[in-house]
């Protein structure tokens, strides 16, 4: 298990967060051609609007002295489910356990139950990660285009 730290991103960090997000999701954007909903095609203004939403916190995922990715947690603190949307690990740091460690770190901060997230049904590695972390599919999916569907997860 990687010992990552979640470091809160400030408004001043959002340009960096946005650039990281676009780069991290560029391969999926190219693969699925999903220009409507992909984090890889979001404008800086849209990311800033999300940053300013009540209950939203962006974190850098830090391992050692290196930023390996980021995660956005939404916790409205009203009893509704907490949400991870999105989480990403930069391409050069993938498949090293960082995403799993970051989700565990978020659960230490916010509690381990009452979560939701969604991901691309065709990305088997993502499905494996979330299921390994105790998330289960809700049975709901959403067709985005001929190449991809979004699948919804919960963790109680």
- The whole-number pLDDT of residue 89 equals 98
Rounded to an integer, what distance in angstroms lies between the CA atom of residue 28 and that of residue 50? 21
Question: Per the domain annotation, does 97 fall within a domain?
Answer: yes
* Average pLDDT of adjacent 10-residue blocks, the chain of 156 residues: 92 98 98 96 98 98 97 96 98 96 97 97 97 97 97 97
**Residue 46: how many other CB atoms lie within 10 Å:** 12
**CA end-to-end span of the chain:** 23
Are the C-beta atoms of residues 82 and 112 closer than 8 Å to each other? no
**pLDDT (tens digit, 9 = 90+) per residue, 115-152?**
999 999 999 999 999 999 999 999 999 999 999 999 99
Q: What is the Cα–Cα distance from 66 to 14, expressed in whole angstroms? A: 17
Q: Is residue 122 part of a domain?
A: no
With 0-12 / 13-18 / 19 or more C-beta atoms within 10 angstroms meaning exposed / middle / buried, residue 4 is buried
Residue 24 lies in a domain: yes
Domain membership flag for residue 21:
yes
Q: Give dist(CA 156, CA 149) in Å, integer.
A: 23
Give counts: helices (H), strands (E), the chain: 5, 7
Identify whether 124 is part of a domain: no
Q: What is the model's pTM?
A: 0.96
Report yes or no on 18 lying in a domain.
Answer: yes
CATH number at residue 43: 3.40.630.30
Domain that holds residue 70: 5-111
Q: Which helix (H) or strand (E) holds 100?
A: helix 98-110
If one counts the domains in the chain, the total is 1
What is the per-residue pLDDT for 2?
A: 76
Is 140 a member of any domain?
Answer: no
Identify the sign of the CA torsion 25, 1, 7, 50: positive
Distance (Å, rounded) from C-alpha 146 to C-alpha 156?
Answer: 32
Examine residue 29 and state whether it is found in any structural domain, yes or no: yes
Q: What is the pLDDT of residue 63?
A: 97
């Amino acid at each position: 298990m990687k010992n990552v730290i979640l470091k809160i991103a400030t408004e001043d960090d959002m340009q960096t967060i946005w650039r990281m997000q676009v780069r991290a999701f560029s391969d999926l954007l190219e693969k699925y051609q999903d220009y409507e909903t992909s984090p890889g095609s979001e404008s800086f203004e849209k990311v800033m609007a999300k940053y300013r939403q009540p209950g939203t916190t962006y974190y850098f995922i830090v391992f050692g002295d290196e930023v390996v990715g980021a995660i956005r947690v939404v916790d409205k603190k009203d009893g509704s489910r907490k949400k991870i949307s999105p989480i990403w690990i930069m391409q050069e740091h993938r498949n090293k356990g960082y995403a799993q460690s970051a989700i565990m770190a978020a659960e230490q901060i916010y509690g381990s139950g009452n979560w939701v997230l969604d991901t691309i049904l065709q990305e088997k590695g993502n499905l494996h990660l979330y299921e390994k972390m105790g998330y289960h599919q809700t049975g709901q999916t959403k067709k985005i285009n001929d190449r991809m569907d979004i699948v919804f997860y919960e963790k109680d």
